[in-house]
Chain A
Amino acid sequence: NAGVTQTPKFQVLKTGQSMTLQCAQDMNHEYMSWYRQDPGMGLRLIHYSVGAGITDQGEVPNGYNVSRSTTEDFPLRLLSAAPSQTSVYFCASSYAVGGPLHFGNGTRLTVT
């Protein structure tokens, strides 16, 4: 089992560019989520999904889109990158809503 796999590991974007952060899990988990981690602020929830075809907003959803066409994949799209989106992004999954999360190793994004 690979667990939760995130790609890329690092990315640099210019303001206004778009990109997709990939997340895949091989544990057949129903629940998947995206967090961003900023210094001194812990982890903040961006979007989450309780199953294929179902997504919802978290605490800081603005500027991000998600979709969940399969159980395994949960990509995060930045539509028009801004410097405020410079952060480390973590994808996490769980067997069910409310269950303990398994995290990927993160994508470090810099927007210049």
Chain B
Amino acid sequence: GQQLNQSPQSMFIQEGEDVSMNCTSSSIFNTWLWYKQDPGEGPVLLIALYKAGELTSNGRLTAQFCITRKDSFLNISASIPSDVGIYFCAANTGTASKLTFGTGTRLQVTL
């Protein structure tokens, strides 16, 4: 089946640093999504990307749907303590009913 390889698995950074994480696949997708999960809660959508080459920002977050359609990255600038959580990439082929998730990147921010 389709798999998303998400890296890094975990990150420990200092407050104020920039963060970058990515997802790669051997399959082509039409939609890429990035979610954040806080402890004890469900994932919350951060950014949705629907077009190859698209670069979208949401505050300090920037995500790109790479032109190959096989990968995507998420950048967080000037990290703050509330950025702590697990970040998931997800993708589908647009018409498919099934969203495939990456295994997550656990982000820890130290003061």
Interface residues of A (CB under 8 A from B): 4, 31, 33, 35, 40-45, 48, 50, 56, 58-59, 90, 92, 97-98, 100-106
Smallest distance from the beta carbon of A91 to chain B beta carbons, Å? 8
Nearest A residue (CB) for B47? A100
Given the known A-B contacts A59-B1, A98-B31, A98-B92, are A45 and B98 also in contact in the complex, defined by CB atoms under 8 Å?
Answer: yes
Q: Contact string, B75-102, partner A, CB cutoff 8 A, digits 1/0?
A: 0000000000000101011111111011
Residues A56 and B97 in contact, CB atoms below 8 Å apart: yes
Residues B40 and A105 in contact, CB atoms below 8 Å apart: yes
Residues A105 and B99 in contact, CB atoms below 8 Å apart: no
Residues B43 and A50 in contact, CB atoms below 8 Å apart: no
Residues B45 and A50 in contact, CB atoms below 8 Å apart: no
Interface residues of B (CB under 8 A from A): 1, 6, 30-31, 33, 35, 40-45, 48, 88, 90, 92-99, 101-104
Residues A106 and B41 in contact, CB atoms below 8 Å apart: yes
Give the total number of A-B pairs whose CB atoms are below 8 A apart.
59
Smallest distance from the beta carbon of A7 to chain B beta carbons, Å? 14
Nearest B residue (CB) for A45? B98
Smallest distance from the beta carbon of B30 to chain A beta carbons, Å? 8
Residues B97 and A31 in contact, CB atoms below 8 Å apart: yes
- With a CB–CB cut-off of 8 A, which chain A residues contact B43? 43, 90, 101, 103
A-B contact pairs, 19 of them (CB 8 A): A31-B97, A35-B101, A40-B103, A43-B88, A43-B101, A44-B101, A45-B99, A48-B97, A58-B98, A59-B1, A90-B43, A97-B97, A98-B30, A98-B31, A101-B43, A103-B44, A105-B40, A106-B40, A106-B42
- With a CB–CB cut-off of 8 A, which chain B residues contact A43? 43, 88, 101
